[in-house]
Each structure stands twice: as C-alpha cells, then as structure tokens.
Chains A and B, each alone.
Chain A
C-alpha cells in the first residue's frame, strides 16, 4: 500500500509551519514527490506574494503619513489602522480631497493678498505725504514719489541706501528727536509734530511692523509737509496779537460770547466798566457779568440782553437809554452796539458787544440842555413880560373902572373882563412852569397836537411872526416826555422865527402820521411815526454849514449859544426819533421831526365840571399867603361853609385837634403844599392823618407840576386843586371830598 493520504497531509502541514521544503523531508514517500514539488512551488510563490503585499501596504502607509505630515499632523500609528481598514477607509482619497480644499483656500487667500498688495501700492503712491519703508537697520526698502520729491528730487535710486544718507545728511548717529530711534526704543509708534528741513516744516510719524515673533523688522515713516500750515498759524498768531493789542488800547469795552452765551473774550476797558476782571468773567454766562437794561425799565432782568442776542442777523445799535449795572451795583449810562459773529459758513457763532461809558457825557448833555433852557428863557422873557404887562393892564384897568361904576350890570361886565384876563395870565404862568421844569424826563403815551399848538403860540408870542398850523385829526399818540418835546418845538420854532429876522411872515407847521419802511430813513427803525415839518421862508442855511447845525455850541447868531438844535437833536434821539433838515438858499428851511408812535393809548383826561355851587360844614384853610387865605375863606363862606384859617402846618394841626376836642370837627382841610419857613402840606397831612386817620385833606398848589399833585393819594390827600381857581372849581372839589365815602 502506498503512503497513506493522512500521513502526506501531516507532512504538508509541517512543511508549511516550518517553512521547509516538503521534498527535503526524508519521511516523504517517493510516489508523492511530483505532488510535493508542486506544493513546494506554490508555498514559495505564496511567500513572495505576501512579501510584495507588505511592501505595498507599507508604501501606502508611508505615503499617508507623508501626506499627514504635509497637512501638519502626526503619523498614523499601526494600531490605529490595520491593513484592512487602511484600504477600507480610503485615506488617500480623503487626504487628496482635503488637499483640494486646502489649495482652494490658499488660492482665495492669495487672491485677497494680491488685492491687498495692490491697495497698499495705490495708497503708497497716492497718500498726501512722503512714505518711507525701512528695515530695522535703517536701510530704505521703498519710498513713494512724494518722499523722493521732498528729500531727493532728481536723485538716483534711493532704495538700498540708509535713511540718514538721504535726509539727515550722512549722519550715522541718530539725534534724540529721531522718530526711528524713539520708535525702536519704545517699540511703539513715535511722532515729531514739527521738524525743520531747510525752509520746510514736516510732521513725522514712524510706525513699527513686527514679524510673527513680535520683533520689529520694518517700519513705515510718514512725512507730511506742514510748512503752509505753520505759516498760516504764524500769521494767525500775529493777527491775534495785533487784534489783542488793538482791543486793549481802545477805550471802548469789548466782550465776545459764544452761541451758548458764555464769555470768550473781554478787554481791559470792558473789565473797568463792568467791574469784573477778565479772569473772573471768561467762561461765565454773559447775563451774570454784563447786566444791561433799557432806561425806561431801569430794573435789570436780562430781557434787553436776550433781545440783542436773539437778533443774530444784523447789528444792533443803542445810542441812548441803555444802562449797565456794574459789579459795585451802580448804574452807568452806556452806548452799546452788538453784532453777530458768523463762521465761515455764515452760521451763527456768537455775539460781540462794544460799549462805552457815557455817564459823564450824558451829564454834560443834561447840563447843556439846562443851559439851553436858561438861554431860551432869556430870549422869551421879553415877549412874556410884554404879554404879562398887557394882561395886567387889562386886569388893573377893568378893576379900577369897576370901582367907579355904580351900575351893577356895568360892574359885572368889567369884572368878567378882569376874570378873562386873569385866566389868560394863568395860562401863561402854566406855560412858564412847564418850561422851567427840570428833573428826569418822564415818558408816557401822549397826543401832542395840543402841545405843539401851545408851544408854537408860546414861542411866537410878542413877535411879528405867525404860524400856519396843520395838525392831522387822527394824529397818533407818541411815547414822549411832554416837557422835552415842547422844548424841541419851541427851539425849532424859535429858530424859524429868528430866520425870518423878526420882520414878520408865516411859519408852516404840519403834523401827520407816516409809515417808515426798513432802511428808508437813517437811524429810524421801521414802524409808524408822527412826522412834524416846520418850514420857514428865511434865507436858508448855507450848504457848507448844514452838517454842523446840530453840533453843540455851533451858532451863526451873535447872541446865540449854539445849544438849541443840539439839545433838540439829543432829546429826539432819546425818544428813538430823528431830526433832519432841508434848506434852499434864499427860499427857506424845513426841519423834519420824527417821533415813534406809541403802542398804548393815552390816559383819559380827568373829568371836570359837576356844577356844584355850595354846601355846609366846617372847613380849615391853611396857606402862608394872607391874600389867598382870605379870598379862599370868603369864597367858601359865600358857598355856605363855616371857615377857619391857619398860616402853616403847626397852627392847622392845633386848630384841627382843638375843634375835634370841642366836638366841632372839620369836614375838610385845604392845605397849601409849599410854605416857606414852615410846615407845608406834605408833612402836615402826614401829621394830621396820624391824629385822625379819617381826616379829609385837599392839596392846593401854585406849582401845578409838583410831583405831589400828580401822585397825591400816596401822600394821603383826598383831592388836589391847582391855583389859581375859581369859586366854581373850589366848590366842586370840596363837595366831592365831603360827599365821598370812606
């Protein structure tokens, strides 16, 4: 039997295990040799294939690891991926696909970098200053055209040279101010605001560029030519210095504010006038330093200031009537002008106030006005004396005739004539009082038609000149001091009268309403005005002197003071009006007078004439003048009253007290306001009211413009009566006071 199959299988398994040739096994049955040779051959082939497979797998693994390394990660560990999984996972596919993405991403980054580089180049070329790129050893890496034009015009290539060879001139050791040196030392941006190079000025900024380790490897230096800026700044400084010197040397106060109302500038004169030092005032709100008010409203409340500041379009000028409350609490008269400050784009940046202390000038003006009044009074005195003598002649003549007449009707007629003359004399004294009045001007809303008429009559009295008066019926009221306006009319009419050389003639005076538009008349704000024209037919004013006629002390008359027109001008300007003049040689002169129309209506005139003829009761009459005491006593006795007389305050009080004690009290006391060397009505009424608060006292005065007469109630009087008075007026006033309820 041949070698059995089981034995052969055993020999094959051992050969495989020992990796030995089957043929070499001595135990092999020779019959199996061809089969064994085939098996040996197959085994050797299998071994060779396994070897090749391992090489291939190792190759793949190496390449994967190589790629992973390129990606930047650690190689695969053998236990991480066995051969089977290595193929199954398709790492090469994954990595190559990832590479595609990495490449795409890199391309995108490159594109962006190219764009950024182009942008940087464009900036480098077009930037307004000179740009220099250097390494950390001051080797020039790049420079733009501006830099070359600034520091090396027409020179050869500068890249590769050191910066100091181009700029500082072969200076190896950088200066302390060198931006590069300071930038390298601090590691931060360094700048130099003003660096001189020849006759040029530059501002320099050096900026470091760092590598990924944070070391400075390069820097960019920017040079900006600021020569023009420096020149402008110098010119500005000079201008500011000039302005400041001018501001400090002028006598006018100057204050500037910004548009929030804070003070930004104040000169010496302003400090002196306001009493605030510059250091204290600057940055303060204007209203706390510059306290101004209108004279007509002399209590400071900031309204005027607000009004001026609010007007940010045009200049405001206040020649008169402006008061300033200084730090010491004193009111000063000022001239004030204010103008808006505009920025280059015309927007409002603040306000500038220019003002002058005119307190002294104003006092001088008032003195001038007083002197003018006295001067004019002298001229009128003749005419007045003439008229007064005429009236006295009438009174005296009629009284002496009445004495001689026995016929009661004839006597009555003569006494009526006497009364008429007396009333005309009363009118004359009233005018004299008005004219002689001094003190502060008091403005109120008035209709000046009657005032014009009276002033004209008064001025032309006793002269051969008459006046053709044309006063509009609808004449608007004006805000005026009646006495001052009367003085102006008198001055102008007197001027006209003198121009007609007292040879007689007619002066024309018209008064009417006009509407003045903006910029229509110099010095006049737009609005409604009363215009008065006074025309004479005199010789006219020569052209060469017409501009001087309103100047104080300018006169062409031998006896003239040169104050009349100056005072008139001053008064009218204080009323915010104006006077202008037109004259033709040989034909005559016209003065035009403008007064702003009042907003308010004038107060109604007091009522008169109740027609009371008498009454009863006890009346005490106090007057220092015996003639007045007696005649007033007689008039009241005639009307049915019981009368007692006193010559001064002390006696009146004693008599009042005694009568009260005796149970015969006085119903009314009539007191003269002015008693020389004795207690007058003002004090006496106070004393009397202290004894009897219910006392009814009437004030009487020859000074019809005494302030007590205008404001009698606040002094304690029940009523007033102006001397001289007729029996009828006296009866009305006394009856009214007796009849009035407490």
Chain B
C-alpha cells in the first residue's frame, strides 16, 4: 500500500503566540510542495485555533490538497494530503 510508504510531517502550532496559523500552514505546504504533490508525504497540523479548521482546508483545496479535520481534546488535527 502506498499509505505505508508515506511519511507524515508534523507541525504543532498549539499555544503559540501565533502570528497567523494559516500563513504558517501555507508556508509548510509550500516548503513541502513536491513531496505532498507526489503523495510521498502528508502534513499533520495541530492547532487550537478554531478558525483555522475552515481557512486551512479551503485554501488547501484550492491548491489541490485534501484536508481531514479531527477534533481532539482541546485542539484540532488537520491532515493535509495530495488530492487523489
């Protein structure tokens, strides 16, 4: 399975005096564009900013990525991967 060969890059933005969650998320997407587009890696973002659960998936979708949002205890997990 391709899933097994995938690497997950984790970015924890919880509790950060966050300049802007979306910009940091986009920065991470941009920096890993090649691997994300080929499906080699997934990006896991942890954030306690509720607004980000809307803005990140929306922008990621325009860029051709799929985002799964999971609500955890006091924070959210956003798993961004290549849109198959």
Contact = CB atoms under 8 A, between A and B. Distances in A.
A89 B23 contact: yes
B27 A94 contact: yes
B55 A105 contact: no
Q: Closest 9 interchain pairs by CB?
A: A105-B64, A73-B55, A101-B63, A97-B30, A81-B19, A85-B19, A94-B27, A102-B62, A98-B26
Interface residues of A, number: 22
Given A74-B55, A89-B23, 19 more contacts: A71-B58, A71-B59, A72-B58, A72-B59, A72-B62, A73-B54, A80-B19, A81-B19, A81-B20, A86-B19, A94-B23, A95-B26, A98-B26, A98-B29, A101-B29, A101-B33, A101-B64, A104-B64, A108-B64
Looking at chain A's contact residues, the main secondary structure is helix
A653 B68 CA distance: 112
Contacts of B29: 98, 101
Interface string A47-73: 000000000000000000000100111
B19 to A, nearest CB: 5
Interface string B26-43: 110110010000000000
Given A95-B26, A98-B26, A98-B59, A89 B64 contact: no
11 contacts: A71-B58, A80-B18, A81-B20, A89-B20, A94-B23, A94-B27, A94-B30, A98-B59, A101-B29, A101-B30, A101-B33
A72 B59 CA distance: 7
B22 interface: yes
A73 B59 CA distance: 8
B51 interface: yes
Contacts of B24: 89
A88 B39 CA distance: 30
A213 to B, nearest CB: 19
Contacts of B19: 80-81, 85-86, 89
Contact of B63 (A76, A86, A98): A98
Contacts of B59: 71-73, 98
A239 to B, nearest CB: 55
A725 B74 CA distance: 124
Contacts of A72: 55, 58-59, 62
Contacts of B30: 94, 97-98, 101
Contacts of A85: 19
Contacts of B23: 89, 91, 94-95
B63 A105 contact: yes
Given A72-B58, A73-B58, A74-B51, A102 B63 contact: yes
A282 B66 CA distance: 60
Contacts of A95: 23, 26
A89 B20 CA distance: 9
Nearest to A76: B20
Nearest to A97: B30
Contacts of A71: 58-59, 62
Interface string A319-361: 0000000000000000000000000000000000000000000
A126 to B, nearest CB: 30
A98 B20 CA distance: 15
Interface in B39-59: 51, 54-55, 58-59
A81 B18 CA distance: 8
A71 B22 CA distance: 11
Contacts of A81: 19-20
A89 B16 CA distance: 14
A97 B27 CA distance: 9
Contacts of B54: 73
A73 B22 CA distance: 9
A276 B30 CA distance: 83
Interface in A487-505: none
A543 B55 CA distance: 109
Contact of B22 (A68, A101, A102, A108): A68
Contacts of A104: 64
Contacts of B62: 71-72, 102, 105-106
A625 B29 CA distance: 129
A353 B22 CA distance: 82
B67 to A, nearest CB: 13
